[in-house]
Amino acid sequence: MSVAPGYRLISVDDARMGEMLEVTSWGFPGDPEPADLAEWSRMLPHGRARAMEIEDPQQGDVGTLAGVAGSFTFRMRVPGGDLVPVAGLTGVSVHTGHRRRGLLRALMADHLADARRRGEVASALYAAESTIYPRFGYGLAARQVDVRVPRGAALRDVAGSAELTVRVERLDRESHGRTLTLVQRRVSRPGTMTLDDDVALEARFSDPSTERRDSERARIAVVEEPGGAPAAYAIFRRTDRWTDEGMPDGTVHVTQLAAATPASAHRLWSVLLDIDLMGTVTAAPLATDDALLWMLEDMRAALPRLRDNIWLRIVDVPAALTAREYLCPVDAVIQIDDPLFPDNAGPWRVTSREGTGHVEAAPGEEPDVVLSVQELGAVYLGGVSLESLAGAGLVEERTPGALHALAAAFESTSAPVSNLFF
Ligand SMILES: CC(=O)SCCNC(=O)CCNC(=O)[C@H](O)C(C)(C)COP(=O)(O)OP(=O)(O)OC[C@H]1O[C@@H](n2cnc3c(N)ncnc32)[C@H](O)[C@@H]1OP(=O)(O)O
């Protein structure tokens, strides 16, 4: 594995988490508080906090951390409903004084090799800039809409909503963590991230000071079905604002929202859109076809803005292609180009009957469609069509008609999104 000269790769243990967060704060402006150290130690699984440490005095103080990256151990919902093991890359930062010396490249090689060792089929991330990760094989797999809805915006009725109860409380990881994991696991949308370990997933629902900005501590609304089963939740913070004329004009910022049923989504939004002294509700990330957009009587009132959601890097092509469902029968040979993992590269025959996919290496066979691992990551969850990418010259059809059939098979019936920012 190539490592930047003068630096060495290490695992960061809890005792050095403060140093890690110090490097993170060079990438992402902010001053982490002591409580955040414990949060990060708790959130990052053992061995998944990684750093580049200075080894050569010419680069700086030996033993100091210069670049860092962490990974979560997620399971991600794929089209068809299965959950597949996925690494969630987070907090990538190289100290301002050590940039453009190959530290990110070394951290990425380490991260992707680690994901493969752990049997993860892909790595997912939220990119700070959309130009950074394509070179490492990541494709934009999901887009999100951010909305800004005026308080009191009218919703169409949804049957069963009125029978549901809502609790609105301060977010408390100990008491809400289990509730949230239960809802998250009921969400069938591709791109939804969960963790096997309840403790780890609960830790994700923390309230780090770095995410608070000018708002209050996080609060939560939980929708429960008769009998008490949680069906939806929204984590939110409010900011206080008054107009010069003395009118209340605060904002509710929803930072995470999940709803397992139409009625619970409706009940949740009814509450969010009716909080005293607030003038606006902002919410992100939402799927591009989120139920809210269709429940609003005036969809345009939500002022939806389109943004990147998760980028995906397939690290195990056959495992990934076998795990998802295909919307229609398919039998095609796809040629994948992957400079980093040669065993991903080459022709693969993808066949599917009644949804279930079968994938096998097809050495020597002429491909019907040719694409890179980056484009495979982009189409994997059904967030963009193979035909759209072909229209941009990124996917090549070698057998006339093959592209349309393959593109149809790769579609998803609901737009992918990760509602969990990481
Ligand atoms: C998942 C996440 O956490 S996303 C967060 C990413 N972090 C940030 O944006 C924080 C601020 N920025 C940084 O900390 C650093 O500038 C990083 C992490 C983006 C890059 O780190 P570096 O160590 O300087 O990158 P490195 O020298 O390894 O460069 C590798 C390649 O990426 C390219 N690159 C680096 N930064 C950028 C960028 N911001 N935009 C586009 N390309 C970039 C380099 O030009 C180089 O390309 P090449 O191999 O074709 O020559």
* pLDDT greater than 90 at residue 30: no
Structure tokens at 280: 């606006």
Q: Report the C-alpha gap between 294 and 128 in whole angstroms.
A: 30
Q: Is 326 a catalytic residue?
A: no
* pLDDT greater than 60 at residue 200: no
The stretch 221-228 carries a mean pLDDT of 96
The pLDDT value recorded for residue 202 is 62
| Amino acid letter, residue 306 | L
Largest distance between two CA atoms of the chain: 75
Distances (CA, A) of 186 to 136, 189, 196, 346, 379: 32, 9, 14, 37, 24
The pLDDT value recorded for residue 108 is 98
* pLDDT greater than 90 at residue 405: yes
* pLDDT greater than 90 at residue 23: yes
Structure tokens at 114: 């680690």
Q: Ligand 1: which atom is nearest the Cα of residue 107?
A: 28
Q: Where are the alpha helices (DSSP H) in 118-257?
A: 173-186, 198-204
Residues making up the chain, counted from first to last: 422
The stretch 261-269 carries a mean pLDDT of 98
Q: Is 422 a catalytic residue?
A: yes
The stretch 29-37 carries a mean pLDDT of 81
Per-domain boundaries in the chain: 7-120, 145-306, 318-410
Q: What residue owns the CA closest to ligand 1's atom 32? A: 132
Confidence class for position 210, pLDDT limits 50, 70, 90: low
Confidence class for position 37, pLDDT limits 50, 70, 90: confident
* pLDDT greater than 80 at residue 60: yes
**Pocket of ligand 1 from Cβ distances under 6 Å:** 27, 67, 89-94, 99-105, 125-129, 131-132, 135
* pLDDT greater than 90 at residue 317: yes
Q: Ligand 1: which atom is nearest the Cα of residue 104?
A: 28
Confidence class for position 199, pLDDT limits 50, 70, 90: low
The pLDDT value recorded for residue 2 is 53
Confidence class for position 341, pLDDT limits 50, 70, 90: very high
- Annotated active-site residue in 72, 133, 205, 233: 133
CATH of domain 145-306: 3.40.630.30
Distances (CA, A) of 207 to 25, 43, 102, 108, 293: 17, 12, 33, 27, 28
ipTM (interface predicted TM): 0.98
- DSSP three-state, residue 248: strand
Tens-place pLDDT, residues 112-127: 999 999 999 999 999 9
Domain 318-410: homologous superfamily in CATH: SCP2 sterol-binding domain (3.30.1050.10)
Q: Report the C-alpha gap between 59 and 264 in whole angstroms.
A: 55
The pLDDT value recorded for residue 201 is 62
Tell me phi and psi for residue 221, to 5 degrees: -115, 125
Q: Given CATH 3.30.70.250, say whether it is the number of domain 7-120.
A: no
Selection from 409, 356, 353, 419 nearest residue 385 by Cα? 409
Q: Report the C-alpha gap between 149 and 343 in whole angstroms.
A: 48
Residues 307, 143 contacting (CB under 8 angstroms): yes
Residues 164, 223 contacting (CB under 8 angstroms): yes
For the four alpha carbons of 177, 178, 180 and 181, in that order, the dihedral sign comes to positive
Q: Other C-beta atoms within 10 Å of 255: how many?
A: 18
Residue set of the binding site for acetyl-CoA: 92-94, 100-105
Q: Other C-beta atoms within 10 Å of 204: how many?
A: 24
| Topology agreement, domain 7-120 and domain 145-306 | yes
Q: What residue owns the CA closest to ligand 1's atom 46? A: 100
Distance of CA 337 from the midpoint of ligand 1 (Å): 23
